[in-house]
Structure 1
Amino acid sequence: MGFSQNASEKALFMTMSQGQSIETAMAWITENQEAPDFNEQLFIVGKEGEGDIKKPYQGNMSKEERIKMAEEKIKAARIRRAEEEKVNAFEMEKNRIASQKAQTEARRKLEEQEMEIAMHQRKKEKEEFMSAKRQMQIQLERDRCERLGIPFDETKAIDNIKKKDARPPLEEIKHGIKTVKTLYTEERQPGVAKSCFKTISVYTGNVAKNPSDDKFKSINLANEAFQ
């Protein structure tokens, strides 16, 4: 690292001998490298009975033991750092996935709202068109009655027009299936369309198996299965 043996021994004595980490020893070197006695040999005062004689610091471990301990502490620090990085990476990935899911859900809801708005708009336009068409048909029927000199019955004329415009039952079913598939795709709302068709299959199956039972000819809107 570029430091003298004396400085290294001081750092080890001041930190690692007290059970601290190798990082603490390196921090001690950084903080004290400007001290006048930084590179001087470390001396310790002799034990009681030995007078005030100062001895060079030898420590309780040999050089090889100190090196081994330092290597073990470095290894432990690297393992700890790797584990922390792994945990941080996991948290970052978890947050990324959560953010992506939130964005996907927000986009799905927006698309669904746009689809519903578009369908309501088409429905409104169709109703306006059918209303204008019906008024025109009523007027044509009124003109026809006047030409023939027969009384005009508006109620009867409207009923006849509705019967002509009514969609055949099979076409009505096809239209309903197409609408459900368009609104509730597997990408936007997985399983919703399948659940709807399964429920319809159960209802129609009950009617087919029990044609004379009136309870199967109507739907209870409060039924959880229907909802």
Structure 2
Amino acid sequence: MSGLSLKCGDCGAHLRTVEEAQEHAELTNHSNFVESTEAVLNLICASCAKPCRSKTESELHTKRTGHAEFVDRTAESSKPIDLEAPKAVPVESTEEGALGETSQSGEMAVPEVNKSLLEELESMGFPLARATRALHYSGNSSIEAGINWVIEHENDPDIDEMPMVPINMKIEDAKPALTPDEIKIKAHELRERARKKKEEEEKKMEREREKERIRIGKELLEAKRIEEDNERKRIIALRKAEKEEEKRAREKIRQRLEEDKAERRRRLGLPPQDPEVSKPAVAPVVQEKKSMLPTKPATKAERMRDCLRALKHNHKEEDAKVKRAFQTLLTYVGNVAKNPDEEKFRKVRLNNASFQERVGSMKGGIEFLEFCGFEKIEGGAFLFLPRDKVDMAVLNIAGSELNSAIANPFFGVL
């Protein structure tokens, strides 16, 4: 069976003639063409008679115009391909003759359009192929319809290609031509209409984007609130555990004192002390004016929190430096907690320029490290945390308080 098309071996495109293959090669630099027995599709739109060469092209046309019915005339237009190169068209060929030429198959030709409308479009600066395509696909009805079609399809890849239709198609008579002034007014109105339509679409998209930003912002705020609630619950649980630990420690100390006292009485040969007798005499009740606020010793976490509040209050006009100081302190504490055996993380040179800029110059920064267990050595030249004094519980409390101070925007305000 003789070949019905030329197939590009590089991209798989099917081409009707050698001339199309040459144009394809110039555009894409593809040079691997073979003869194929598969014909190029010829799908004619039943609504506007636009020819489509492939399923993809017909789907794009349907998506753009809404036309879904096509007539398959592939069998009618398929002819054995002529492998001889086409002869060049003489330069003297008239424009009208070019419009009347038929395709190589003899069944497709450039559509006839109203010449006066075509001249008016060309006078407005539209190329011949674009003006012809606009008049043909807009129904060859008016300048307004043609310009409107050009504005809507100016991004089409084939906008400047001459349209081809079956040779037996006829074009209806066009409406009377408009004057040049009317053409300019119509063109201006159409452009304004297209501009307003585009602005409305952009405003609508901006509203949708704003709604999306608001939704995301609400989700972030809710996530932050949940995280802060969880952090507060964790801190409360940590403080409760600290109080229980202190209570157990006091009870152990009391029991040890009782045991030491009983041991001393045994060595001295004294009888064991009666628990009832050992109780101290009840002192007379003295009516005193009591303070409205209960007094209790401050815990390690409270002292650290007060230190950070004082640091922020002392530098309340320097929020960036305060936040950097908190982050630097968190780094020091985190390094010790992760690497307690590394001495370089447990020793800080006080006259170090970076340390002085970030922490040393901030009133309260060195005091916070001392609450974590650091001690001044070598005449106050270094801060050092001995290995046997590394308390993971204290470091965890310090890290928690620093994280709270960094994350809470209202920390230290009141």
Contact 1:142 1:152 survives alignment (8 Å): yes
Alpha-carbon distance, 1:112 to partner: 1.8
Structure 1 residues 55-114: Cα deviation after superposition (integer angstroms, max 9, x where no partner) = 224478943343123212211122112202321331232133223213322331232233
Matched, 1:7 2:133: yes
1:93 to 213, 225, 228: 213
Equivalent in 23, 27, 36 of residue 164 of structure 2: 36
Distance in structure 1 (CA, Å) of the matches to 2:140 and 2:204: 27
Query: In proportion to residue count, which structure has more strand?
Result: 2
Runs of 5+ consecutive residues of structure 2 not aligned to the other structure: 1-125, 282-290, 307-399
Q: Which amino acid aligns with 1:143?
A: E
Shift of the alpha carbon at 1:43? 4.2
Conserved? CA contact 1:15–1:24, under 8 Å: no
In structure 1, distance between residues paired with 2:234 and 2:150: 59
> Residue 139 of structure 1 corresponds to which residue in structure 2?
259
Distance 1:105 1:59, change over 3 A: farther
Shift in alpha-carbon separation, 1:77–1:92, aligned structure 2, 3 A: same
Q: TM-score, normalised by structure 1?
A: 0.50
Give the structure 2 partner of residue 64 of structure 1: 184
Distance 1:66 1:189, change over 3 A: closer
Q: How many Å separate the matches in 1 of 2:151 and 2:236?
A: 64
1:77 and 2:197 matched? yes
Asked if residue 26 in structure 1 is aligned to residue 153 in structure 2, the reply is: yes
SS of 1:175 mapped into structure 2: coil
Instruction: Please identify which structure carries the higher helix content.
Output: 1
- 1:73 and 1:189, CA in 2 relative to 1: closer, same or farther beyond 3 A? closer
- Aligned-residue sequence identity (percent) comes to 6
CA contact (8 A) 2:265 2:271 kept: yes
Counterpart in 1 of 2:105? none
RMSD: 5.0
- Please identify runs of 4+ aligned residues in structure 1 that moved more than 6 A: 14-18, 21-24, 29-35, 181-187
What is the number of residues matched between the two proteins? 169
Letter in 2 for 1:56: A
Alignment-derived partner of residue 221 in structure 1? none
- State the secondary structure of the residue aligned to 1:172: coil
1:152 corresponds in structure 2 to 273
Judged with a 3 Å threshold, the aligned counterparts in structure 2 of structure 1 residues 157 and 97 are, in CA distance, closer, same or farther, namely farther
